[in-house]
Amino acid sequence: MDKELTDQLQEIYARRFDAQHEYRNRVWGVLVKDFFQQFVNPQDAVLDLGCGYGQFINHIQAAAKYAMDLNPHARETLASDITFFEQDCSLDWPLRDGTLDLVFSSNFLEHLPAKPLLEKTIQQAARCLKKGAQIVAMGPNIRYVGGAYWDFWDHHIPLTERSLSELLETNGFTVESAISRFLPYTMVNQREMPLAVIKLYLRLRFAWRFRGGQFLVVGRRR
């Protein structure tokens, strides 16, 4: 990968995430244990698409774990049992057809530079997922975050749960759940909340309607 792009990615990651790295890691421990683990069985193969510092894939319990990111420094934060793919996600993934039980993506799809690349990425996910397997994706919902979406320099594709659902439905998936408001928009430069509050928030779904700025979409491979 181009060194200038690598350096830019590393600088962006460090600027946004390094100051709260340990806190974010603890938060993801709660999110995985109290919510996302329900999508994964112990024998499953899981890929974290746009893994960042690996907070999801490090915590999830699965038999085979993969992570993909363009930032080569992401591998330094991944546990030893995770296979890392340093590549453009819109190109062919180095996995056989029907390998995966789950593709997970958090706050990544909006960073792709163009819609055709996003569609190619979803097509790769469809190819690599087993029939009946799932994709779980969350990200900022432009309908609710509005202009704040553009506060991040590398946001390119504004999405809602409806637009992502349509993309999935036209590329081999049946959408089983499309939640317009899930988690708050961002942890970047926000006050650190006690983990007990986060646990409570996940249980009180009515609170999502007031605080949620991210969508959550679950699709199943047809």
Q: Are 51 and 69 in contact (CB under 8 A)?
A: yes
Centroid of chain to Cα 28: 12
Examine the pLDDT at 11 and tell me if it is beyond 80.
no
Q: Are 54 and 73 in contact (CB under 8 A)?
A: no
The three-point CA angle 104-105-107 to 5° equals 160
Residue type, position 102, single letter? L
Residue 15: pLDDT band with limits 50, 70, 90? very low
Summarize pLDDT for 157-190 with one digit per residue, the tens: 999 999 999 999 999 999 999 999 999 997 655 6
Q: Radius of gyration (Cα) for the chain, nearest Å?
A: 16
d(CA 113, CA 51): 17
Question: Rounded to whole angstroms, what are the CA distances from 176 to 28, 87, 222?
Answer: 24, 29, 11
DSSP structure class, residue 109? G
Ranges of beta strands (E only) in the chain are 45-49, 64-69, 82-86, 100-106, 129-140, 173-179, 214-221
Please compute the mean of the pLDDT values over residues 29-45 and round it to a whole number.
Answer: 98
The whole-number pLDDT of residue 9 equals: 55
The whole-number pLDDT of residue 191 equals: 78
Domain range for 71: 3-221
User: What SS3 state is found at 27?
Assistant: helix
The whole-number pLDDT of residue 21 equals: 80
Examine the pLDDT at 52 and tell me if it is beyond 60.
yes
The whole-number pLDDT of residue 13 equals: 53
d(CA 175, CA 162): 10
Examine the pLDDT at 76 and tell me if it is beyond 80.
yes
Residue type, position 216, single letter? L
Count up the domains in the chain and report the number. Answer: 1
Please list, residue by residue across 60-72, b when 16 or more beta carbons sit within 10 angstroms of its beta carbon and e when fewer do. bebeebbbbbbbe
The whole-number pLDDT of residue 64 equals: 98
Residue 30: pLDDT band with limits 50, 70, 90? very high
Examine the pLDDT at 79 and tell me if it is beyond 50.
yes
Residue 196: pLDDT band with limits 50, 70, 90? very high
The whole-number pLDDT of residue 174 equals: 98
Mean of all residue pLDDT scores within the chain: 92
Question: Which domain CATH number covers 18?
Answer: 3.40.50.150
Summarize pLDDT for 137-156 with one digit per residue, the tens: 999 999 999 999 999 999 99
d(CA 7, CA 10): 5
Please compute the mean of the pLDDT values over residues 100-126 and round it to a whole number.
Answer: 98
Q: What is the pTM of this model?
A: 0.90
The whole-number pLDDT of residue 60 equals: 98
d(CA 12, CA 9): 5
